[in-house]
Amino acid sequence: MLYRVHGIRLRYNKDSFQYLRTCIVQLLQINDKDLLFFKIVRRSIDARKKPVSIIYSVDIETAHKLSRKELEPVTEKTIVQIVPGKKPGKKNPIIVGAGPAGLFAGFILAKYGYKPIILERGSDVQGRNRALDNFKKTRKPNPNCNALFGLGGAGTFSDGKLTTSLSHPLIGYILEVLVECGAPEQILTDAKPHIGTDILQNVVNNLANKIVNLGGTIKTDLTVTNIIAKNGQITNVKTSDGNFETDTLIVATGHSARDTWKFLEAAGVEIAPKPFQLGVRVEHPQTWLDKQQYGEGANHPSLGASDYRVSTKINNTPVFSFCMCPGGWTMPTVNEPGHLCINGMSLHKREGRFSSSGIVVTLEPTVYKGKDLDSCLSFVRGIEAKCYEKGGSDYSAPAQTLAGLLKGQIDKTLPESSYRFGLTPASLDDLFPDFVIGKIKKALPIFNQKLPGFIQDAALAIAPEARASSPIRIVRDSDTRQSTTIKGLYPAGEGSGYAGGIMSAALDGLKTGIKIIEKFAPTSSY
């Protein structure tokens, strides 16, 4: 019988498979030969006390039955049972958007024989890289193919974090699919799994190929321009490459497909403002963070690049770190000319000299007078346009040291940064309303108490971090997952307001695909 043992603590410089085995044997007070098998199921780093520890949970099998309070029997994993419906659909399911939500919805539909057609305005990964290279050279973004649009969505050009606060049996399934597609096996056990943009690009390609091999279709470089509904039922999807008839449409665009929201609303789809996050990206030297978090363990190969998570409330408003990117760089994530937004990105090994994290404020719609789609977009786009102008109108980014921000002084010079398009000294007070930047300024000393040195001469705030989440939600029925106003239209993922990261978006897309499977018979059966 398999048992699970939690809380096996190893000092960071003794982290090895053999030493872990020795610790298991000592903990269980058995002979080494009686430990028939063990498997790591979770690995986490505890940096709260020095020296830093690695904490393991393991599954074990022994030659003799054990009865100890620290053991728990390992039960078989719960397998989600999917029972296809019997009602035939009229046409292939259409999925708009090839990000995590769209790809995982497409994967499960294709696996069960539903032959989905995924429509993506951007290019494949290779085409996206060419578009980004051209953007660096010309400073002219491609509105349809960039770091936000294209196969894999915005997450393809990021740190590839797979952390989520959600708990669901399908989370493990998603991780297993990613490993099948080339992700490192350690994502199955790491407490804070990540892939890195270098490996994630290959994973995205492999997942897309898997969908096609299962009978699905993926069309890139194709823009959806409108939808048609009759009697409250979706019937057609209009694109730059023709018309697609369907009675099943998954809208899985990212949170930057603002033009899509506009024509959906015009077609009668219910859209409502929701709370979202807005702020800056704070950048530090990675060497400082490693020393602060790991002490003498800094740079040890068993620990890798360190990260942090900070949060507080200012007048009951959450202010917190978001999308922390260790050992990477800050980059522009632009799809709309004349507007600026930034994000963090890193390779799998996280060997870069800088760390960065969004420091964002959660905004209720009433705070910024977000009454409808237009007012939400006007607010966010106004800040992005102002940051573009103050940065120099060439995608250089406005920035301020944290010390300068707190003193209300524009820096004469700025410290070195990973942002490759250049920084322009600016006052962030001039770029954000006080209900954003004022709360960030009050939160910074609190973060400095939690993480001494957070405010330092080399610490930069770069603006704006404006795509942390969607400011709107495409309203759907909680049971059917369909739009409340258009039957057959299934909003999913970040752009629809139901996710906030790779894993939560993939899970939302997967659950949406399953809901369609349970309603309709497979395409191949008619």
Question: Where residue 70 falls among pLDDT bands split at 50, 70, 90?
Answer: low
Looking at residue 67, its pLDDT comes to 74
Does residue 312 form part of some domain? yes
pLDDT for 524 equals: 57
On whether both 35 and 157 belong to a single domain, the answer is no
Does 12 fall in a domain?
yes
Confidence of residue 74 (pLDDT cuts 50, 70, 90): confident
Place of tokens 């991780």: 175
Please give the torsion angle defined by the CA atoms of residues 254, 260, 266 and 268, in that order, rounded to the nearest 10 degrees. -40
> What is the residue range of 65's domain?
3-73
Checking if the pLDDT of 525 tops 60, the result is no
pLDDT at 79: 66
Look-up of token digits 């989440």: 469
Q: Which residues pair with 150 in a beta bridge?
A: none
Position with higher pLDDT, 524 vs 305: 305
Same domain, 172 and 232: yes
Closest CA to 380 of 432, 328, 335: 432
Chain centroid to CA 40: 25
Q: Are 195 and 187 in contact (CB under 8 A)?
A: yes
CA distance linking residue 453 with residue 448, whole number of Å: 6
Low-confidence winner among 58-72, 201-215, 328-342, 416-430 (lowest mean pLDDT): 58-72
Predicted pLDDT of residue 370 = 96
The answer to whether residue 96 sits within a structural domain is yes
Which two structure tokens, joined as six digits, stand for 130? Answer: 């060419």
Across 4-26, average pLDDT: 94
pLDDT for 75 equals 78
Residues 266 and 280 in one domain: no
Q: Are residues 428 and 285 in the same domain?
A: yes
Q: Are residues 323 and 425 in the same domain?
A: yes
Q: For residue 522, which phi and psi values (nearest 5 degrees)?
A: -60, 145
Cα separation, 499 vs 132, in Å, equals 26
* Token representation of residue 150: 């294209």
> Are 460 and 497 within one domain?
no
- pLDDT at residue number 64: 83
357 within a domain of the structure (yes/no): yes
Does 104 fall in a domain? Answer: yes
Instruction: Round to whole Å and give the CA distance between 227 and 254.
Output: 17
Q: Rounded CA gap, 518 and 526, in Å?
A: 16
* Interaxial angle between packed helices 169-180 and 502-519, expressed in degrees from 0 to 180 and rounded to the nearest 10: 100
User: For residue 78, is it within any domain?
Assistant: no
Query: Which two structure tokens, joined as six digits, stand for 410?
Result: 């524009």
* Residue 235 tokens, joined: 């019937």
Of the candidates 241, 291, 257, the residue with the CA atom closest to the CA atom of residue 102: 257
Do 502 and 152 touch, CB atoms closer than 8 A? no
pLDDT at 87: 87
Q: Is the pLDDT of residue 148 over 50?
A: yes
Of the pLDDT bands very low, low, confident and very high (cuts 50, 70, 90), residue 76 is confident
Query: Which CATH number characterizes residue 37's domain?
Result: 3.30.70.2700
Asked if the model's pLDDT at residue 517 lies above 90, the reply is yes
Asked if 243 and 280 sit in the same domain, the reply is no
Q: Give a yes or no: residue 280 inside a domain.
A: yes
The answer, yes or no, to whether residue 60 has pLDDT greater than 90, is: yes
For residues 242 and 329, state if they share a domain: no
CATH of the domain at 511: 3.50.50.60
Higher pLDDT, 447 or 67: 447
Same-domain pairing of 215 and 103: yes
pLDDT in the model for residue 1: 72
Over range 88-107, report the average pLDDT. Answer: 95
Q: Which of 419, 443, 465 is the last residue of a domain?
A: 465
202-250: per-residue pLDDT in tens?
Answer: 999 999 999 999 999 999 999 999 999 999 999 999 999 999 999 999 9
Q: Residue 81 domain-assigned?
A: no
Is the same domain home to 178 and 251?
yes
Number of domains in the chain: 3
Q: Give the tens place of pLDDT for each residue, 375-410.
A: 999 999 999 999 999 999 999 999 999 999 999 999
Q: Give yes or no: residues 344 and 411 share one domain.
A: yes
Residues 311, 287: contact at Cβ < 8 Å? Answer: no
Bridge-partner residues for 117, per DSSP? 94, 217
422: tokens are: 């250049």
For residue 127, the 8-state DSSP code is: H
CA 481 to CA 158: how far, in whole Å?
A: 28
Distance (Å, rounded) from C-alpha 341 to C-alpha 382?
Answer: 12
Could you tell me the pLDDT band of residue 526, with boundaries at 50, 70 and 90? very low
Instruction: Specify the length of the chain in residues.
Output: 526
What pTM does this model have?
0.95
**Domain termination site, one of 73, 99, 132:** 73
Structure tokens at 98: 């090839």
Do 231 and 144 belong to one domain?
yes
84-93, 135-144, 294-303, 482-491: which has the minimum mean pLDDT? 84-93
> Which residues in 63-154 belong to E strands, given as ranges?
71-73, 87-88, 94-96, 117-119
Letter for the amino acid at 324? M
Phi-psi region of 131 (alpha: psi -120 to 50; beta: other; left: phi over 0): alpha
Q: For residue 492, what pLDDT is reported?
A: 98
Give the end of a domain, one of 43, 73, 103. 73
Q: Which residues contact 65 (CB under 8 A, 6 or more apart)?
A: 1
Q: What is the mean pLDDT of the chain?
A: 95
Is the pLDDT confidence value at 73 over 70? yes
